[in-house]
Every structure is written in structure tokens, then in C-alpha cells.
Amino acid sequence: MSYADGVAVSGKIWIRPGKTSTVIHENRHTRQAQSLSTFDSEVEAYKYQRIFSASDVQYYIDKAKMAQYPIVVGTEIGKYDIEEMVKWVYKTQ
């Protein structure tokens, strides 16, 4: 990470080949206000990424849901979308 006057101005990310939607997600962060909370920043980036690849984002949502709520027969989880996934994965709110 590079800083100027205490503000991050550049950073490095590594993305595996074939992960174009991850590039879309990470690139979105470069255009966000630095004052956004982690929660708001990630929710916004995932919503933007979902425009490009809904299936990739749904994969991350499903993966988080299964980690947070292992399958219990007869249990209904209810709504679980980007906001719930970000809260779980990033331990926000």
C-alpha cells in the first residue's frame, strides 16, 4: 500500500486468471469515497459486481450462508443477501 499525507493512494491486489468479476469488484473500490464504512464499501462493490456477474456474487452469498448457518433439516433461514453476507464475512455491524 502506498500513502500520501496519511491517505492510501495505491495498493496491490492479486487476482487469479478467469476472475474478471473480481476485477470489477476491486476496481469499484478505487472509485468509492474513503469515508465509507467497510460495510457500505463492500455492499456497494458487491452490488456493482452483481451487474456484471450475478452468479459469482450469488456463489459468495451462498458460501457465507452455509458457513454461518450449516444445514439443519426443517430450518428456514429467511432473507440472506449481500448485506447479510458482508456482515458475516467482514464482521461488520
pLDDT tens string 24-35: 998 898 888 888
Is there a domain that residue 59 lies in?
Answer: yes
Is there a domain that residue 2 lies in?
Answer: no
Distance CA 90, CA 74 (A): 28
Is there a domain that residue 8 lies in?
Answer: no
Helices (H) and strands (E) in the chain, counts: 4, 2
Is there a domain that residue 39 lies in?
Answer: yes
Is there a domain that residue 6 lies in?
Answer: no
> Over 90: is that where the pLDDT of 3 sits?
no
Name the residue range of residue 67's domain. Answer: 17-89
Is there a domain that residue 51 lies in?
Answer: yes
Q: Which pTM value belongs to this model?
A: 0.79
> Over 60: is that where the pLDDT of 50 sits?
yes
- Domains contained in the chain, number: 1
Is there a domain that residue 35 lies in?
Answer: yes
Between residues 18 and 21, which one has the greater pLDDT? 21
